Amino acid sequence: MAGLSLEGKPWYFGLAIGLVLAIAVVWGVNYAFIGDIDNQIHAADQQLKDLDAKIEQGRSAQQKLPQFREEVNRLTAELKKLKDILPSTRNTEMIIKKIKQLVDAGNFVLLKLTFPKLAAVQGSDPYAEWPISVSVNGRYHNLAILFNSLGNFPRVINVEQISIGALSPQVDRTITADFVAKTFVYVEPKEPEPAADAGKGVMK
């Protein structure tokens, strides 16, 4: 290609060519360097916005932290109450201690205190019955107080199968009573067993 000659051309012709070349150089530099830097700046701006959003979320969570802690404490206290009402263990020693305290307070003679094995869970109920057989000699009024005290016990205790007979002679104690103090034990539900493979055991 023949070289470009400006000889004999008007002065503005050379000026126009110079402007075109200058624009081409500027565009090339912008494309090669400035454009990449501009993209990096936009990416950095977006990262800053994302960080600002996360910081704001963190501040919001921090403000709600006391509320979350209060809710956890409330749920913990509620769980403790439920465990007192329906414990996951029999706590035989505690039951014996409580019944003996009530028996001594009512001036009873404890004749029998039997703790049978825990009954099987019925159906889908998450608890098993634990009927405790009790036999005492005492007075009728004190027996009513004993039943009321058992009913007000934090743990669920139902008095059932009451049988009362008169003592002879009637001196310090006038009646003999047999009853069942039925309480309950929470049983953790079992995870369902995985279904057997459909083709297992099939003769081919």
Q: Per residue in 31-85, pLDDT tens?
A: 666 666 667 777 777 888 888 888 888 887 778 778 878 877 777 776 676 666 6
Round the average pLDDT of the chain to a whole number and report it. Answer: 76
Compute CA distances 46 → 17, 35, 40, whole Å. 41, 17, 10
Select from 82, 89, 79, 90 the least CA-distant residue to 181: 90
For residue 100, give the nearest of 64, 132, 125 by alpha carbon: 132
**Which residues are CB-neighbours of 157 under 8 A, at least 6 positions away?**
150, 151, 181, 182, 183
More confident residue, 85 or 166: 166
Domain ranges of the chain: 12-85, 92-186
Whole-model pTM: value is: 0.53
Where is mean pLDDT largest: 55-59, 78-82, 155-159, 172-176? 172-176
pLDDT tens per residue across span 116-137: 777 677 666 677 888 889 999 9
Does residue 177 have a pLDDT over 60? yes
Would you say how long the chain is, in residues? Answer: 204
User: How far apart are the C-alpha atoms of 158 and 88, rounded to whole Å?
Assistant: 17
Higher pLDDT, 195 or 38: 38
Q: Domain 92-186 is classified in which CATH homologous superfamily?
A: Ribosomal protein S6/Translation elongation factor EF1B (3.30.70.60)
